Structure 1
Amino acid sequence: MRKRGFVLLWLAGIALATLGLRACTAGIAQQNLNGIGEVTSVVDGARPGEVVVHTHTRGYARDLAWVVTDDGNVTSMEGDGAEAPGGPQAQGCAGDACYRAAGDALRVEGSGDGGRTWATAWQVTGPAYENLVRTYPKLGDPAEHLASRSVVVHTVAGGHVVYVANGRDGLLRRDPGGAWRRIGSPDSGEGCCFLDPVPRLATDPPPPDPAPYVAGFVALGVLAAGAVASARRRSWHPLALVAVAALAALGGCVAYLGAGMPDVGMFPGLMYGAPLVLGALAGGAVLAAAFVRRAAPARPSGADVDVPGPEAGLARLGGGEGGGGPA
Structure 2
Amino acid sequence: QQTAFKMVLEVVSNIMKFYDYLLRRTDIRVKDYPLMQSPVQMTAILFGYLFLVLYAGPRFMANRKPFQLTSAMIIYNFSMVALNAYIVYEFMMSGWATTYTWRCDLCDYSNSPEALRMVRVAWMFYFSKFIELMDTVFFVLRKKHSQITFLHIFHHSFMPWTWWWGITLAPGGMGSFHAMVNAAVHVIMYFYYGLSAAGPRFQKFLWWKKYMTAIQLIQFVLVSVHISQYYFMEKCDYQVPLFIHLIWIYGTFFFVLFSNFWIQAYVRGKRLPKHSEKSSINGDATIIPNGKHLENGTMVNGNGIAQNGKVKEV
TM-score, reference length from structure 2: 0.22
Higher RCO structure (Cα 8 Å, ≥6 apart): 2
Structure having the higher Rg = 1
Scaled by the length of structure 1, what TM-score is found?
0.21
Larger relative helix fraction: 2
